[in-house]
Amino acid sequence: MTYTEKNKIINIDNADRREDAIQQIVDVLTDGGIVAMPTDTVYGFCCHYENEDAKEKIAKIKQQPKNKPFQTLVGSISEAEKLCGALPKTASKLARSFWPGALTIIVNKEKGTIGLRLPADQDICAVTKKLQSPLSATSINIHGCEPLNNREEIVKQFGNDVDLIVVNNKESKPIPSTVVKVENEKLTILREGSIDKDTITNIAKTCFLFYFEQKSFRAIFAAIILNNMNGGLLGSSKTIVLTPEISMPANTLPKSAETTLTEMGYKLTLPKIKPTNLTDIDTADYIFTFSDNAFNEIVNTSPWQKDGIIKVPIKKSEIPKPSIDGFGIGPGYKEDIIYLEKEIWKIHQKIKKKI
């Protein structure tokens, strides 16, 4: 282990036993010390989340206002929710999309606000796990100056102010995290960092997911019908159709189906068709399923989404014959579209007040 009391430097990648290095960091933090260490973004001053004296010392080192908040580094989403309660829906979507990663999410807590981030750094996560506590962190710099991200400069300028300096053999990243605030489901981007604004806003859009566990056009029809109701219910939202087996080129329908939809007055704004994936399921606001099997699949993989699943009832007695997999193949699929219209309209009336 490369560690000396004189310069208080430990190279975690050169440690004979990484566990010993992690323990050294945890011991310093537990004793109320300040550690300068790399993250998946820039280097940071870190201390125990519950140690107010250490935070005050860091603020003094940085010459920053005492009321300027610290970032809170957590080891999991569940740990974040212990600090602020259940994350708002928009914040939860962003967390499930970008954590672990370079996104800081500011949300309300019982008193004031808190900026949360789950870093994509195995050393930081190992420290929080062994410490059994989040970390309070902030960039290494004098308030108002650019953050330092060079280990030599950090040692030279702040070596006497901290209790331990951690370095590694990885190439440092000079770009800080993107910082957003979510309040009453309203998203505000406070700082654009390594995750750009367009990527953030696209994920934050209300997402309607149509999930069919077998190949079928029914989910696509339902998405088109919903999108056309009420002059375009979805507005700036997005629609996605997930299916494990797509038997046609992406974003296409049989010509007869397109003709029927057009004749019935539908604008053919086709949804994005994608293979089944957990990220889209986790971040959807509304999930439409068409069978008990599909419903159960979603609940089993993403149980927290149970209340957001909408079962579209399919009564086989009302589906015209002949059929394939219970799906009518009447002239241009018209009978099926008419049936889906009735069911989607009922759902539309329930959800439009929430959008």
- Tell whether the model's pLDDT for residue 288 goes beyond 70: yes
Asked which of 57-71, 107-121, 140-154, 246-260 is least confident by mean pLDDT, the reply is 246-260
Tell me how far apart the alpha carbons of residues 107 and 90 are, in angstroms, rounded to a whole number. 10
Residue 95 covered by a domain: yes
pLDDT tens-digit map of 147-191: 998 888 999 999 999 999 998 887 777 889 999 999 998 999 999
Average pLDDT over residues 72-77: 96
pLDDT tens-digit map of 330-345: 455 788 888 888 888 8
pLDDT band at 271; cut points 50, 70, 90: confident
CA 199 to chain centre: 11
Residue 1 covered by a domain: no
Percentage with pLDDT > 90 across the chain: 43
Structure tokens at 73: 């580094």
Final residue of a domain: which of 195, 228, 255? 195
| 72 and 120 share one domain | yes
Question: Angle at Cα 230 formed by Cα 305 and Cα 203, nearest 5°?
Answer: 40
pLDDT band at 249; cut points 50, 70, 90: very low
| 217 and 190 share one domain | no
- Tell whether the model's pLDDT for residue 205 goes beyond 60: yes
pLDDT of residue 6: 46
Residues in the chain: 355
| 168 and 220 share one domain | no
- Tell whether the model's pLDDT for residue 36 goes beyond 90: yes
| 188 and 211 share one domain | no
Three-state DSSP class for residue 297? helix
- Tell whether the model's pLDDT for residue 320 goes beyond 80: no
- Tell whether the model's pLDDT for residue 322 goes beyond 50: no
pLDDT of residue 1: 35
- Tell whether the model's pLDDT for residue 195 goes beyond 90: yes
Residue 100 covered by a domain: yes
Domains of the chain: total: 2
- Tell whether the model's pLDDT for residue 251 goes beyond 90: no
| 127 and 217 share one domain | no
pLDDT band at 328; cut points 50, 70, 90: very low
pLDDT of residue 137: 97
Tell me how far apart the alpha carbons of residues 114 and 98 are, in angstroms, rounded to a whole number. 18
pLDDT band at 80; cut points 50, 70, 90: very high
Sheet (strand 207-211) strand order: 272-274, 238-242, 207-211, 286-289, 309-311
| 153 and 88 share one domain | yes
Three-state DSSP class for residue 170? coil
| 75 and 214 share one domain | no
Residue 128 covered by a domain: yes
Computed over every residue of the chain, the mean pLDDT equals 84
- What is the pTM for the complete model shown? 0.77
Residue 4 covered by a domain: no
| 234 and 330 share one domain | yes
| 170 and 213 share one domain | no
Percentage with pLDDT > 70 across the chain: 85
Domain of 274?
205-354
pLDDT of residue 63: 95
| 231 and 328 share one domain | yes
Here the CATH number for the domain that contains residue 142 is 3.90.870.10
Residue 2 covered by a domain: no
Residue 3 covered by a domain: no
Residue 290 covered by a domain: yes
**CA atoms in the 13 A half-sphere facing the CB of 81:** 11
pLDDT band at 3; cut points 50, 70, 90: very low
| 187 and 255 share one domain | no
Select the more confidently predicted residue: 222 or 49. Answer: 49
| 211 and 92 share one domain | no
